[in-house]
Amino acid sequence: MKVIGLTGGIGSGKSTVTDYLIARGFHVLDADQIAREIVLPGSEMLIQLASAFGRGIILEDGSLDRKKLGEIVFSDREKKKTLDGLMHTRILELIHERILQIREERKHKVIFIDAPLLFETGLHKSVSEIWLTDADDETRIQRIMARDGMSREEIEKRISAQMTREEKQSLADVILDNTGDQESLYQQIEQLMKKI
Ligand code: ATP
């Protein structure tokens, strides 16, 4: 079974590709969803986070206070590293477990992992192939502004905090050029499907 890692910078089209793949009947593991699952109320991870960052990061209803945690880690590099270390380790464990389960079911010839932080977590080392959604900064800024109503400054700040496009391009096996319309993106995927 082939495991394809799908990644790309903010607003580059990962969800658009994932939605298309799911509609085409492919199995897609969603790393962001796993990240949300592991911090549900009562989870082992939430206990670990509270011991690392204080009980103040847990709201009265037992859920994670993301805003509070964000304030703590974004002003302190070491704390951000601690958080990433804890979260990434557990996310990788779960992804590996799920890949094993799916492999044993023998139902799929190929599965995808939608992982915005594929490279940053080191997950790229365990996939068979890396697909990168890619578009120039201005196109991404315009699309995110239209989608989220976020300001240009905020989006630029997020882009500059990420790995550069060039770094990602150099590590990818396949680059999906998402500067055109969605149809053109889907056509590129269809071409790739012929080789799977
Ligand atoms: P994020 O990193 O923020 O999660 P993403 O990489 O998942 O974003 P998408 O959500 O797929 O990116 O795309 C960003 C926005 O651009 C969405 O509103 C999407 O509908 C739109 N979009 C994606 N591809 C195209 C395209 N080829 N033409 C026009 N709009 C597009």
Q: pLDDT tens digits, residue range 84-120?
A: 999 999 999 999 999 999 999 999 999 999 999 999 9
Residue 21 has pLDDT above 90, yes or no: yes
In this prediction, residue 5 carries a pLDDT of 98
Residue 133 has pLDDT above 90, yes or no: yes
Q: Report yes or no on 71 lying in a domain.
A: no
Decide: 143 and 182 in contact? Cβ < 8 Å.
no
| Total of domains in the chain | 1
Pocket of ligand 1 (CB under 6 A): 8, 10-16, 116, 133, 143, 147, 178, 181-182, 185
What CA–CA distance (Å, rounded) separates 49 from 55? 8
Best of 15, 141, 142 for a ligand 1 pocket test (most atoms within 8 Å of beta carbon): 15
pTM of structure: 0.95
Q: Report yes or no on 173 lying in a domain.
A: yes
Q: Report yes or no on 47 lying in a domain.
A: no
Domain hosting 116: range is 2-39+89-193
Phi then psi for 58, rounded to 5 degrees?
-110, 130
Residue 123 has pLDDT above 90, yes or no: yes
Computed over every residue of the chain, the mean pLDDT equals 97
11 Cα: distance to centroid of ligand 1 (angstroms): 5
In this prediction, residue 75 carries a pLDDT of 86
DSSP-based three-state secondary structure for 5: strand
7 Cα: distance to centroid of ligand 1 (angstroms): 13
Q: Report yes or no on 25 lying in a domain.
A: yes
Q: Tokens in use for 82?
A: 């601690």
What CA–CA distance (Å, rounded) separates 96 from 66? 26
Question: What is the average per-residue pLDDT within 170-189?
Answer: 98
Residue 196 has pLDDT above 90, yes or no: no
Q: Report yes or no on 64 lying in a domain.
A: no
By the 10 Å C-beta count (0-12 exposed, 13-18 middle, 19+ buried), 163 is classed as middle
What CA–CA distance (Å, rounded) separates 25 from 78? 42
Please give the share of the chain, as a percent, with pLDDT higher than 70: 100
In this prediction, residue 149 carries a pLDDT of 94
Decide: 162 and 12 in contact? Cβ < 8 Å.
no
Q: Report yes or no on 57 lying in a domain.
A: no
Inter-CA distances, 84 with 35, 78, 121, 162, Å = 11, 10, 9, 14
In this prediction, residue 31 carries a pLDDT of 97
Q: Report yes or no on 48 lying in a domain.
A: no
In this prediction, residue 74 carries a pLDDT of 86
Q: pLDDT tens digits, residue range 32-87?
A: 999 999 999 999 999 999 999 999 999 999 999 999 999 999 889 999 999 999 99
Inter-CA distances, 16 with 6, 145, 165, 181, Å = 11, 16, 18, 11
Q: Report yes or no on 121 lying in a domain.
A: yes
CATH number for the domain spanning 146: value is: 3.40.50.300
